[in-house]
Amino acid sequence: MSFESFFNPKSVAIVGASSQKGKVGYEILSNMISAGYGGKLYPVNNKADEIEGLKCYPDLESIGSVPELVILVIPAKIVPMIMQQCAKLGTKSVIIITAGFKEVGKEGKALEEKVVQIAREAGIRIIGPNCLGIIDTANKLNACFGGDLPDVGGIAYLSQSGALLAAILDIATANKIGFSKLISIGNKADIGELDLIKALANDDETKVIAGYLESITDGDEFVRQAEKISHIKPILLIKSGSTAAGATAASSHTGSLAGSEVAYETAFERAGIIRCESIKQQFDYAQAFSNQPLPKDARVAVITNAGGPGIMAADAIESKGLKFAKLDEKTIEKLGSTLPAAANIHNPIDVLGDSMADRYSFALSTALDDPNVDVVLILLTPQAMTDAKGTAEAIVKISKEKPAKPVLTCFLGANKIAEGVEILRNGKIPQYDSTDGAVATIKVMTEYVRWKSRPKRVVKLFPVNRRKVENIIERHIRQGIREVGETESKEILEAYGFFTPKGSIATTADQAGNIAEQLGFPVVMKIWSPDILHKSDVGGVKVGLKSVQEVKDAFDLMMYRIPKKQPDAHILGVLVQEMCKSGKEVILGMNRDPHFGPLMMFGMGGIMVEVLKDVSFHLAPLTSDEAKQMLIDTKTYKILKGVRGQQGVDIDKIAEGLQRLSQLVTEFPQILEMDINPFVVGPVGSTPIAVDARMSLEV
């Protein structure tokens, strides 16, 4: 859809405009006038003839023409009636400032649904309700009651919180941060975050998309679209309000470890979205992205007039995993021929405490010419000889003359650097009050560049037996059985190319002994009950049984003790299965997030997974590289690779197992949770075994 009538309307009607200062209807009208809006402005209020020198109309129809944009600042209960008038007139864009809808409860929700129904039948698009309004700086549109029109800039900001947007406007005014657009989306009754992000992706005035969200309406579609948009422009989001990932209690290890927070982290990572922890951090990043070019790599040169801050910057660069640029020999020679003998001509370049603007200018110009430098960070402390103003002017000048590489500054201090900071901000040079903030921004920029340059995602599809899985799942759903037993879970895994241990169910001790003899010793025994999810917790697992008598004794002991520990459990028997050869135990799992779909998990297997919590997550479907990265992201990976002379395991086979499981849960959305634990993997060339499995369905 086109947002032209929202951001650049030729005419605006404000229904509920007021002549009383302090009223929302007055503030919006006043802001529209003071911003210099050039279109036609129609205040609508049946109790006034004129407001702020403008003719006031009793209703929309009396205007005599169709306003492109209508802003509603009226009691919630009469919004449907005014929406009907908009529909009759043919207005297609409406901003509902009014609160009192779904955010206040059941009645408000019904009222909001009525408004949306009217809008959809008439082809009207809505921003709001319960919002602050919108701003477009280039078109001098301040249809908002949050504050004055900010400076023009390349940052577009959307917020689910109107109060937060008001705070951001105040911060922007104080720090001269420029915006292209600001949008308060409120309840998102119609237009949501994805609609706006898609529109901003194609907006020539916007270089960076930033925002604050409390919820995402359609997580799966959001990730798909945001991934495309992130290749065009960086997206910087603050996400709050995380809640439990599912409505039901998690029964699997994966379900208990995965939560909404984990889902959002993995979704944002997939989509290339940069998640921010605070408004300050968000604007630290946004100013750099909107005003500076992207670095080609992570090699940083530091210029400073003090040793301490230079060391702090070096520590921050190293701790963030960035590269301290190794200056080219020609650069070192050039610096040495001009800077004082006491200056450090290696990185960090120390121009000394008596440095004036000329030394900074020379050092910056030289560093930017160095082929080994990707980004320059300039530090300044206010010493006796320091010329903050002149240095800032020199930095702006050189940066404009050599615009290919990003330049960031960290002027430390307060009053003595204030004039210089003002010049830097006006000159579009990102300025930070700490080396950590500046280096964190460089790190984020380099990560974004790396994300953009990653290979195209290719998901491998394995040949599988889908029909067998369909039959098992359909039978369970038809019978209303949520938990899939171990035997049938393994049948499903086998249909998708996993190998599982041989075994059978025994209902008597003698039968257990016979099965064990046929399998060959040693064997493993597990209690068989749909009501017992964690078998080891009730003594329902015995391993390494080496004789018929041991098997019979274990069977009798389980049947005697377990009913006492869990009297309500329906016990069907005991599973007797072959014991796998030794190997490393890992866990492969999935929990289906209600917003983003299947969330894959990898970690150390066995009973320690929830204790150690050494796990990684990623959204399905997985590519080969993503599956391997899940392994790399855990401490377990070092053990799997082999440490202190120990033989490693087949990493590629684990990654393949994750991909196969990813394909299974993607193709069968009925699967809510699943664990393969343990998944026993041996040396390269051996076959991994899915020793135990559990699965939950949506029934």
H or E segment to which residue 37 belongs? none
Domain spans in the chain, listed from the N-terminal domain onward: 4-206, 293-429, 466-578, 584-697
d(CA 527, CA 510): 16
pLDDT band at 242 (very low <50, low <70, confident <90, very high): low
pLDDT at 1: 66
- Range with lowest mean pLDDT among 230-244, 307-321, 678-692: 230-244
Query: Candidates 3.40.50.620, 3.40.720.10, 3.30.470.20, 3.20.20.70; correct CATH number of 584-697?
Result: 3.30.470.20
**Cα angle for residues 295, 298, 299 (degrees, 5° grid):** 100
Using the structure block, give the residue that is written with the tokens 């393994």. 490
- Check residues 360 and 259 and name the one with the higher pLDDT: 360
Nearest in space to 163 (alpha carbons), one of 143, 191, 184: 184
d(CA 53, CA 34): 13
Q: Residues 675, 610: contact at Cβ < 8 Å? A: no
- Whether CATH 2.30.40.10 fits 466-578: no
Query: Candidates 3.30.70.580, 3.20.20.80, 3.40.50.261, 1.10.1670.10; correct CATH number of 293-429?
Result: 3.40.50.261
pLDDT tens-digit profile of 324-348? Answer: 999 999 999 999 999 999 999 999 9
For residue 378, which phi and psi values (nearest 5 degrees)? Answer: -105, 125
Decide if pLDDT at 42 tops 90. yes
Decide if pLDDT at 248 tops 60. no
- Check residues 579 and 73 and name the one with the higher pLDDT: 73
197 DSSP β-pair partners: none
Decide if pLDDT at 511 tops 60. yes
- The yes-or-no answer to whether 4-206 and 293-429 have a common fold is yes
pLDDT band at 608 (very low <50, low <70, confident <90, very high): low
pLDDT at 249: 41
Q: Is the peptide bond before 67 cis (omega within 30 degrees of 0)?
A: no
d(CA 447, CA 138): 31
pLDDT band at 471 (very low <50, low <70, confident <90, very high): very high
Q: Residues 153, 177: contact at Cβ < 8 Å? A: yes
pLDDT tens-digit profile of 613-635? Answer: 789 999 999 999 999 999 999 98
pLDDT at 594: 87
pLDDT at 442: 98
d(CA 44, CA 17): 6
Q: Can you give the pTM of this predicted structure?
A: 0.88
3-class secondary-structure state, position 16: coil
615 DSSP β-pair partners: 603
**Residue-level length of the chain:** 699
Give the alpha-carbon dihedral of 267, 272, 276, 279, to 10 degrees.
Answer: -120
pLDDT above 70 as % of the chain = 96
d(CA 108, CA 99): 9
pLDDT band at 507 (very low <50, low <70, confident <90, very high): very high
The residue type found at 510 is D
- DSSP secondary structure of 563-628: HHHSTT----EEEEEEPPPS-EEEEEEEEEETTTEEEEEEEE-GGGHHHH--EEEEESSPPHHHHH
How high is the mean pLDDT of the chain? 92
d(CA 394, CA 658): 54
| Averaged pLDDT, 254-274 | 79
CATH no. of 4-206: 3.40.50.720
